[in-house]
Amino acid sequence: MAKPYDPKDFYFRKAKKAGLRARSAFKIEEILQRHRLLARGDAVLDLGAAPGGFLQILAEAVGEKGVAVGVDLEPIRNLGKPWVRTAVVDLLAPDALERIRALHPGRFRFVTSDMAPKTIGIKVTDEARSLELVRMALAVAEQTLAPGGAFVAKVFMGGDFPVLRRELRARFESFHIVRPEATRESSYEVYVLGKGFRGTSTTASASPTPTPTPTPAPVPVPEARVPGVVGPGPTPPTPTTATATVAGGPPSPRPSPPGEAGGEGGPWVSAPAKKVGREAGAKAAPTAMKASGKSSAKATAKRAPGKTPTAKSKATAKKAPAKSKATAKTPSAAARSKATSNPKATAKKATPRRPSATHHARPRAAPPSRRRR
């Protein structure tokens, strides 16, 4: 379980005893000792330097031959060292870089940032604001840091931290996450460290502009042509066959000779024409069959040998079908009596058929007389 917040904890009392302006001085001191980022005579830039805890340790690290520059929105009390230069600078202002270069025109070996947002207690909001401050410091470092230099910034881990980590790895040769011992146990702040700055030119060349690939010339496609038609034309449909109607029978198909509809060298028969032809043939078929039946009946009557049919025979022939129809519809009395007197036949007809072998009927057992003893 984390300890309750104590503004005057061990490192606070230690900083006051050592004459340091903030407990954060122990954090940057630990980072410098562990990674050896500065040497005598180097130039260092501290962003968000007030009240000056980082700047005190950095000034001691570079010595009199070096330069320590600190900027913040609030004024920083003078440290009493001539190689330490401070100024009130808003990093969002358009002239921020010019004012920093006025303090030191050259490049810096080390750029630090201890900037933190004013927390409101909402973790997501505090993390997002902290990431924005780190990106602001990184943008300044890209313009002022010397190739091979180092960058350190405080950030609240969470949210889009993986995105920030990828951005730092793209700009530095090595990336580290540091949590100094002077950090409070209840705080979720860490320090990101990038070593071996690649430089602005190297960063720009890391993603070169892709060379456009030449587009090959289109291959001409041959156009479909219709037989007998000059120039390009539509895709020809399936040729049809003309129909010839025979007297006394349905229409019979025959191949179309050259020059006619559907033949070689002639115009193609359209779909509506095909439909009209099929409908006409369907209507003409029953009429032709009826006419064929009448003509065949007349021809049979003319060819039959014998006497010429009289009016009486014609009347008898006309009445005969009616009588046969009546006879076929009304069963005779003998047939009815036979069906009544033979109930077995009636039952046999009413009994449904047994399922065949294909229905996989269950085999019946053999009668007792046929079983083996």
Residue the block writes with tokens 């032809």: 277
Strand boundaries in 240-331, DSSP class E: 242-244, 252-254
- What sign results for the dihedral spanned by CA atoms 268, 273, 275, 277? negative
Catalytic residue among 3, 14, 17, 154: 154
Order the strands of the 108-113 sheet from edge to edge. Answer: 84-88, 67-72, 43-47, 108-113, 145-156, 189-197, 172-178
Tokens of 248: 């006394």
Q: Is 54 annotated as a binding residue?
A: yes
Q: Residue 252, SS3?
A: strand
Q: Is 95 annotated as a binding residue?
A: no
Residue 348: its H or E element: helix 343-350
Q: Is residue 65 annotated as a catalytic residue, yes or no?
A: no
Please choose, from the candidates 146, 155, 135, the residue with its C-alpha nearest in 3D space to the C-alpha of residue 196: 146
Q: What does the DSSP assignment read for 118-147?
A: ---S-HHHHHHHHHHHHHHHHHHHHHHEEE
- Among all residues, which ones are annotated catalytic? 154
Q: Which residues are annotated as a binding site for S-adenosyl-L-methionine?
A: 52, 54, 72, 90, 114
